[in-house]
Amino acid sequence: MPLVFVYGTLREGEANFGFMRRARCVARKAWIHGQLIDTGEGYPGLIRTHTSVPVDQPPQVVGEVYEVSLSLLAWLDRLERFIEPGHPDNVYERIETTVKADTQTLKAWVYEYVTDIPESERFFDWIAYRKRRNNAD
């Protein structure tokens, strides 16, 4: 079954985590190369960084890895507004990437934000960012 790296509202305790209850958690603490942005829509967008950097070197986006069924993967595609690879109406592109999780390295799907990238703060952990932002309000 496919593995998916989640970094935003699908993480444990976040707004869409209920959907991940049907999946098996493979790694509660994992990271990939990239940066996150606040899309202004209540969820983050992943912006990937140069892929030749070793996976254990910063910048690292924090997330979790789940083993999902094909039907759940199809549902996640709809949630993330991924139609098919390279489709001009995609909000996110589903790509395979290297994920570092504790002592193991995994290959997993991740959703990369491909819509117009707003000028906003860059960060690496959606939960920490959201809590900090909410405390500032």
Q: Tell me the catalytic residues.
A: 80
The end-to-end CA distance of the chain, in Å, is: 41
- 66 CB-near residues (< 8 Å, 6+ apart): 3, 4, 6, 20, 23, 24, 25, 26
Cα(48)–Cα(78) distance, rounded to whole angstroms? 21
The pair of structure tokens assigned to 17 is 């985590």
Query: Which strands sit side by side in the sheet containing 44-47, from one edge to the other?
Result: 44-47, 35-38, 122-123
Q: What b/e sequence results for 38-58 when a residue is b if at least 16 CB atoms lie within 10 Å of its CB, and e otherwise?
A: bbeeebbbbbbbeeeeebeee
